[in-house]
Amino acid sequence: MTTDLATTILSESDLLRLGQLAIDAGAEIMRVYEGEFDVQIKGDQSPLTQADLASHAVIADGLARDFGHIPVVSEEDADSHNAPEGETGPFFLVDPLDGTKEFINRRPDFTVNIALIEQQRPTYGIIYAPVRKALYIGDVVSGKAHVLETEGLSGDISFANFKALTVRKAPDALAAVCSLSHNSPETEAYLDLYGVAERVAIGSSLKFCLVAEGQADLYPRLGPTMEWDTAAGDAILTAAGGKVLSRDGAPLIYAKPRFFNPEFFAQGDVAFKVPN
């Protein structure tokens, strides 16, 4: 699958720089994770730790250095949230620490998310899981998605060490991933109604990655999310052959008012019709 949405084409070396930037941000997160840390509550009642801020600083500096001509919207930079509605881009959309609740509770399912948005769609996505030591890269422009296990790696990362990702054909008994911290009775009822046989609860944007890897078929989200929660995962899943749809069956779009997402359904096998 390729797309004609992008006018900004990132090279393999660009993508590797973004991947390394996510790894570097993950290292800062792990320094906090392995020690003692304070938890603050932001105005929207979401938690904030030193790790969120340290990761944001690494990413903001790296993007300014290597991609300074492209604007950045980050969850942890309130001033960047004034980007105009319907912005066609390009702009980077960043969640420096997705899954802060998992981080606080010492669970391994938190990630660093970096996406490039153009024409209100993600065209490139990077996700790094620091505890799991897995780096995911999705290139929607060329239709390629990859994962790299970073355990034991030294030196520069290379696509020669990545494994290609592709979604699987939906089996008769579907497997779904759902939120570990934000699951709801509505989601459970939805999964029951459509015969989902297996459920995996996991935090952060890793849910998209499990579908992209062919470990699951469906990720329904019937509760609130922000665009920085989903953009990188959307790109990775789309590049792996899946799709992310809003309730009306249209692709999930970005640069919406206040960056709020509607309910959505992420699926692997595009031939499988997700009920709306």
Both 186 and 123 in a single domain? no
Statement: residue 84 has pLDDT above 70: yes
CATH of the domain at 159: 3.30.540.10
Q: For 187-207, what is the mean pLDDT?
A: 83
Both 96 and 203 in a single domain? no
CATH of the domain at 251: 3.40.190.80
Both 179 and 218 in a single domain? yes
Both 182 and 134 in a single domain? no
Statement: residue 61 has pLDDT above 60: yes
Statement: residue 4 has pLDDT above 60: no
Please report whether residue 2 resides in a domain.
Answer: no
Please report whether residue 276 resides in a domain.
Answer: no
CA–CA dist 239, 224 (Å, integer): 24
Statement: residue 1 has pLDDT above 50: no
Instruction: Label residue 56 by pLDDT band (50, 70, 90).
Output: very high
| Residue 99 assigned as binding residue | yes
CA–CA dist 276, 264 (Å, integer): 9
pLDDT at 181: 58
Both 225 and 103 in a single domain? no
Q: Which helix (H) or strand (E) holds 189?
A: helix 185-193
| Residue 38 assigned as binding residue | no
Q: Among all chains, which residue has been given the structure tokens 């979604």?
A: 167
CA atoms lying within 13 Å on the CB side of residue 229: 20
Last residue of a domain, one of 139, 164, 189: 164
| Residue 19 assigned as binding residue | no
pLDDT at 180: 62
pLDDT at 2: 44
Both 160 and 181 in a single domain? no
Last residue of a domain, one of 129, 164, 199: 164
Read off the pLDDT of residues 18-41 as tens digits, 9 standing for 90 and up. Answer: 999 999 999 999 999 999 999 999
Which residue segment(s) compose the domain that 188 sits in?
174-267
The sign of the torsion formed by the CA atoms of 24, 252, 236, 156 equals: negative
Q: For 105-126, what is the mean pLDDT?
A: 96
Q: For 110-122, what is the mean pLDDT?
A: 97
What is the average pLDDT score of the chain? 91
Q: Cβ(128)–Cβ(209) under 8 Å? A: no
Residue 239, SS3?
helix
Provide the domain count of the chain.
2
Instruction: Label residue 222 by pLDDT band (50, 70, 90).
Output: confident
| Residue 95 assigned as binding residue | yes
Both 127 and 239 in a single domain? no
| Residue 229 assigned as binding residue | yes
Last residue of a domain, one of 115, 132, 164: 164
Please report whether residue 108 resides in a domain.
Answer: yes
Both 183 and 160 in a single domain? no
Statement: residue 275 has pLDDT above 80: no
Statement: residue 191 has pLDDT above 50: yes
pLDDT at 165: 97
> What is the full DSSP assignment across 34-86?
TS---EEE-TTS-EEEHHHHHHHHHHHHHHHHHSTTS-EEETT-GGGGGPPTT
CB atoms under 10 Å from CB of 248, counted, come to: 7
Among the ranges given (151-155, 216-220, 230-234), the one the predictor scored with the smallest mean pLDDT = 151-155
Q: For 253-264, what is the mean pLDDT?
A: 93
The type of residue at 141 is V
| Residue 16 assigned as binding residue | no
Please report whether residue 217 resides in a domain.
Answer: yes
